[in-house]
Amino acid sequence: MSEIPILSILIFIPVVGIFFMLLIKNNDEQSSQNLKHTALWITFLNFIISLSLLFSFDLNNPDFQFVEKYSWIESGISYHLGIDGVSILFVILTTMLVPICILASYESIIFSVKEYLISFLALETFMIGVFCSLDLVLFYLFFEGGLIPMFLIIGIWGGERRVYSTFKFFLYTLAGSVFMLLAIIYIFISTGTTDVETLLVYNFTSNEQLILWIAFFTSFMVKIPMWPFHTWLPDAHVEAPTAGSVILAGVLLKMAGYGFIRFSIGFFPDASEFFAPFIFSLSVIAIIVTSLIALVQEDMKKLIAYSSVAHMGFVTLGIFTFTVQGIEGGIIQMISHGIVSAALFLCVGVVYDRLHTREISRYGGLVSKMPFYSFSFMIFMLASLGLPGTSGFVGEFLVLLSIFTVNTYFAIFATTGVVLAATYSLWLYRRIIFGALIKDDLSEMFDLTRREIIIFVPLIILTIFIGLYPKPVINIIEPSTEKIVNQIKMKLD
């Protein structure tokens, strides 16, 4: 094991960055540019450090690695960090998306730049913390702490109805999470610890499991979000600034999926098995209903937001099959969605920066003015609908494979979701990109700038790489997933 507390470094580099930012004055154009550069370099540095995780990560070891443990509040609640195959990719996804977000805000954020960047850095700390923490109280701290910067990001730099949206976002997720807090406290009292590693081998009685499972579920259900508690998401997405949407879709939703894998099925396998049909039903409803809703949207961001809910439906379907393929599929689907939906929101951001509207009907025929843009948009659109050869396919395929082995009916309904996804995605693409360029204000549109190309290229490469050759990703995920599945099987017997 390495001696360097690399996870703590990852978590606290943004905090150090915040101190730097506080020292920089923000009074003119030049200094706000400096602030942006500083934040970009800090987050980029964090990304490079997180890549070193990949190199020193032991692929054959299914247990937690890079473990750090210090006593913190009192016995039983410690500062315990560690990552395994399930969480490492989320950490890297986070560190990758944050610099992209900051780069994407270079021109669109013009006032209160300092606060904006500080919020983003704080958010990065919380997000990395969520995926690294191996203590429930620590996890809750990071999980909820992320609400504060996100509340400000949507509320200050958002669109017209930003106040309503950000309040809805904050109160929905807070109301969902407080019951998880009570469950965590109950676990602490009945077992004497909130250490995840200890609790993963602890057996709760089946009655306890049912109640605790529901408490955790309310929190994750709101956050992921599942139908019918998804309504905060379209609002938040629509009103958030581009980078806010990117991080919301890219990482914040994944926290809940990660929570399902790590806690819901890890701690409470009996209850998870009991509730699995319920989850399947909700997921399938989510896939079909939100896909249909996406079809009729007039607003680009809203459409992508609803498609996120549908994609997250696949994730929950996969996770609750308790098969290796299912959980792997869920994780890959989350990673892929993290890249693809983030990229789609960036695509919306590109045209929004130029025309300042997200209404689909205001666009059309962009291909003649913006060929590079149309190409990138196409890649992500196809990945989003799960075309083979893109990252979206791998996850969906594994999930559908696993759900077929468990229950054919759910599988059939879920598959219709794939068709619907193709419908709304392609139709959106047609309405924006194809057709004749007849609207006057569109003639002013120009293609991707260098900054935007820098943003899109890594995302395109990743999307196609994971789609064509998912083996390295699966290699990382597999040992830990197998361990989780074995543990569940052992507990269930």
What per-residue string of b and e applies to 165-195 under the rule 16 or more CB within 10 Å gives b? bbebbbebbeebbebbbebbeebbeeeebbb
| Binding status of residue 114 toward other proteins by CB under 8 A | yes
Residue 197 CB neighbours (<10 A): 16
> Could you give the string, one character per residue 9-38, with x where binding to other proteins holds by CB under 8 A and - elsewhere?
-------------x---x------------
| Binding status of residue 115 toward other proteins by CB under 8 A | yes
List all residues 6 or more positions away from 77 whose beta carbon is below 8 Å from its beta carbon.
135, 137, 138, 188, 193, 194
> Could you give the string, one character per residue 169-188, with x where binding to other proteins holds by CB under 8 A and - elsewhere?
-xx--xx--xx-xx--xx-x
Q: Would you list the DSSP string of 361-402?
A: GG---GGGT-HHHHHHHHHHHHHHHT-TTSHHHHHHHHHHHH
Tell me how far apart the alpha carbons of residues 94 and 320 are, in angstroms, rounded to a whole number. 24
DSSP bridge partners of 69:
80
Decide if 280 contacts 410 (C-beta within 8 A).
yes
Closest separation in Å from C-beta 267 to other proteins: 17
Tell me how far apart the alpha carbons of residues 211 and 217 are, in angstroms, rounded to a whole number. 10
| Binding status of residue 112 toward other proteins by CB under 8 A | yes
Decide if 49 contacts 13 (C-beta within 8 A).
yes
Give whichever of 142 and 268 is closer to other proteins, judged by the CB atom: 142
Tell me how far apart the alpha carbons of residues 139 and 145 are, in angstroms, rounded to a whole number. 10
Closest separation in Å from C-beta 69 to other proteins: 16
413: left (phi over 0), alpha (psi -120 to 50) or beta: alpha
Decide if 135 contacts 73 (C-beta within 8 A).
no
Span 393-422, contacts to other proteins by CB under 8 A: none
Q: How many residues bind other proteins (CB under 8 A)?
A: 37
| Binding status of residue 453 toward other proteins by CB under 8 A | no
Binding other proteins by CB under 8 A: which of 140, 306, 320, 410? 140
Span 345-404, contacts to other proteins by CB under 8 A: none
Closest separation in Å from C-beta 232 to other proteins: 14
Structure-token match 């610890």, residue found: 193
Closest separation in Å from C-beta 249 to other proteins: 23
Give whichever of 125 and 391 is closer to other proteins, judged by the CB atom: 125
Q: Would you list the DSSP string of 25-61?
A: ---SHHHHHHHHHHHHHHHHHHHHHHHHHHHH--TT-
What per-residue string of b and e applies to 358-381 under the rule 16 or more CB within 10 Å gives b? bebebbbbbbebbeebbebbebbb
| Binding status of residue 162 toward other proteins by CB under 8 A | yes
Give whichever of 181 and 406 is closer to other proteins, judged by the CB atom: 181
Closest separation in Å from C-beta 331 to other proteins: 26
Decide if 104 contacts 243 (C-beta within 8 A).
yes
Binding other proteins by CB under 8 A: which of 64, 90, 120, 151? 151
Tokens read off for 61: 């070891």
Structure-token match 């993290």, residue found: 338
| Binding status of residue 159 toward other proteins by CB under 8 A | no
Give whichever of 187 and 421 is closer to other proteins, judged by the CB atom: 187
Binding other proteins by CB under 8 A: which of 64, 120, 142, 322? 142
Closest separation in Å from C-beta 141 to other proteins: 4
Stretch that binds other proteins, among 47-55, 168-176, 271-279, 380-388 (CB under 8 A): 168-176
The number of residues making up the chain comes to 493
Give whichever of 144 and 452 is closer to other proteins, judged by the CB atom: 144
Closest separation in Å from C-beta 258 to other proteins: 18
| Binding status of residue 76 toward other proteins by CB under 8 A | no
Span 249-278, contacts to other proteins by CB under 8 A: none
Span 54-73, contacts to other proteins by CB under 8 A: 72-73
What per-residue string of b and e applies to 290-307 under the rule 16 or more CB within 10 Å gives b? bbebbeebebbbbbbbbb
Give whichever of 179 and 375 is closer to other proteins, judged by the CB atom: 179
Closest separation in Å from C-beta 67 to other proteins: 20
| Binding status of residue 137 toward other proteins by CB under 8 A | yes
Stretch that binds other proteins, among 37-45, 158-166, 295-303, 461-469 (CB under 8 A): 158-166
Binding interface with other proteins (CB under 8 A): 22, 26, 72-74, 112, 114-115, 118, 137, 140-142, 144-145, 147-148, 151-152, 155-156, 162-163, 166-167, 170-171, 174-175, 178-179, 181-182, 185-186, 188-189
